[in-house]
Structure formats: structure tokens, C-alpha cells
Structure 1
């Protein structure tokens, strides 16, 4: 299988280093009824691989064939027969002392491009799982989740928000957006080499 992974991050991904952004990768899986009724057994090696990678992992089941796996390092897997999502979330660690209220420890943010590289290594496990089990992928999505203050927003988006607020006669208090372009070139290049 693949021995090495080389990841190169450029363009938009490195621009996101300026913000507290976290990456997420989702795979929409083509329906495969051969594995549907045996999904737990087919998924077991992937779950064992995830479990062996981290010091502490929590598993949750949702129904008979969907799983959520969370690691203390911040990686989060959602696994179902038609969709697999891997994302990074910042976990706020607690320090507990007997007889005292728990205190929260400081979280040290990482650059988005570094998180994306780490996520690519997690994606390698999933891709190997797909190849070994002849699972076909319909669609792959890479998402950057972030919150921006109004003064950090690029001018074009500021103009769009002002335009969207015109019907109400006052400025918008909050704006959520999902932008989905067709990519001709990619900002993340992942090279897997076979051993």
C-alpha cells in the first residue's frame, strides 16, 4: 500500500493561516449493498487503526452502522455507509482537582496549513480503507471552517454583505455563507507513493 505521503499547501490554504480556521474533509460514498449489511466488520480495521494512533479515543454508535470517533488530539471521524467525514476541532482541556471547580487550560492554535497537512495523513487511512474494500467515492469536499471579525473580511465580501443588507435598510448583524466553487486547480496537493 502507500508508504509515504507528501503534502503541499499553497494559495487560499496558506491565506487561511491568518485566521483561526479548521479543516474538514468529507467523502460521499457510492451506495454499495454488498458492504451495507457487513459495514461494522468491514469498518473494524479502520477503527482499530484510528484507535492505535491515539492515546485516548471515544467511540459512539448511531444506529446499527454509523459511528463517531473522537481523539483527544482533536481529530473527529463521522463514519456511515454513505458518508465519511474527518475534521479537526480544538478541544479545550480541563484540569480537575478534588474539591475544586475544573479549570480550563489554554488552547494553542495551529496554522490552518499545518492542520490541513495533518488531516491529509488522516485521509490516507481512509483512502487505504476505500482501496482495500473496493469502495467508490462519488464526491470529495474540503472545507475550511472559520469565523471572521468584520475588519478581517476581504473587501469583496464586505461589499456583498452591504448589498445583502439593502432590503432591510440597516446593516446585517450576522452573515453565514457557504461558498462552493468548481476548482480547476487545487490549493492542496497530496501525493501518495506506493511501497
Structure 2
């Protein structure tokens, strides 16, 4: 399925999604999170998942972003299809299920909400193309940047920190000159429509 990501200046699409608590392994404990609850001057929305090696490689960097910014909220969303009967020949990954998300949040000690977009409506609205795919919004929830988190998948030789630079620009009230850098990672695993 081909989706087009939000363009610069577009408003963050609304969402209300269940998020894992990270307090238990393979449980269905959850809280519901809505876009309006994130009220920091900057918002980072990252579409990610459990199974993708690139998404896994970015987990610690996402935790560091959340920890380093008092004036920014970070929320992760997993939209991948985890159910074979919905795949219809497309890829599916059972390890992206809600139960496995809760276990990963506990094991990795996520310090940000990790939400499940079972219907994939939110992923389509944002235009999430892969995992991870980051979107940075200002205080009016207008898109400032979308794409790669930084320029090194493995995190060993990072020279450009796109998400951090975009958040810094938002918090400083400045324009961020780079609207898009192609995200890198595993493609979003869409259900058959």
C-alpha cells in the first residue's frame, strides 16, 4: 500500500489509541492516549515496531530523546499487521501484537507511551511508510519535519540528528530548514484493504 506522508505545515491528525503499560509481560494492561493529552511545545510521533532490526536499533536513541527534552513529548505508535488472516499475501509479524508490545516496553524500559494502531487508520493519516518513521510538530501541532531520526541506522557514526535538530528549532522558535529526509527501516506491514 502506498501512502503519502504529511507535508510541512499540515496539522497532526488526531488519534486516540491504547498504549501498553510496560508493567507486565504478554498482558493486555493498557491505557488510552489521545493526541490532545500531549501538550508540550514540541511533539515527536514515531511509527515503530517490535520486529524490525532498524526499529530495534533506534530504541535507545528514542529513550534518550525523551529523557533529554523536558519541553517535548515523544510517542511511539506500532501500526504493523500482526495477524495472518488480515495479511492476504502481505507480510505480517505476530511479534508486533499488543501483548508483545507490552513485554518489549517492560524489557526495554520505555520512558514514552507505546501505542497500538490496530486499524492502521492513524498510520494512513500520517503517511507512515516504514519503521521507524518520525514526525516532529510544533506547539500548534503543525508538521515541522518528517522522515529519518538521524543519518546512521546503527547509531555508530551519526553526523546528522534530524529529529533532535527539528525539536531544537521548535523550542527556539526558529524555522527548521529540512522538511523531509527519507526514512529508513522495514516497510509498514499493511493489512489487506
Higher relative contact order (CA 8 A, sep 6+): 1
TM-score w.r.t. length of structure 1: 0.26
- Which one has a larger percent helix, Structure 1 or Structure 2? 1
- Which one has a larger percent strand, Structure 1 or Structure 2? 1
TM-score w.r.t. length of structure 2: 0.26
Q: Larger Rg: 1 or 2? A: 1
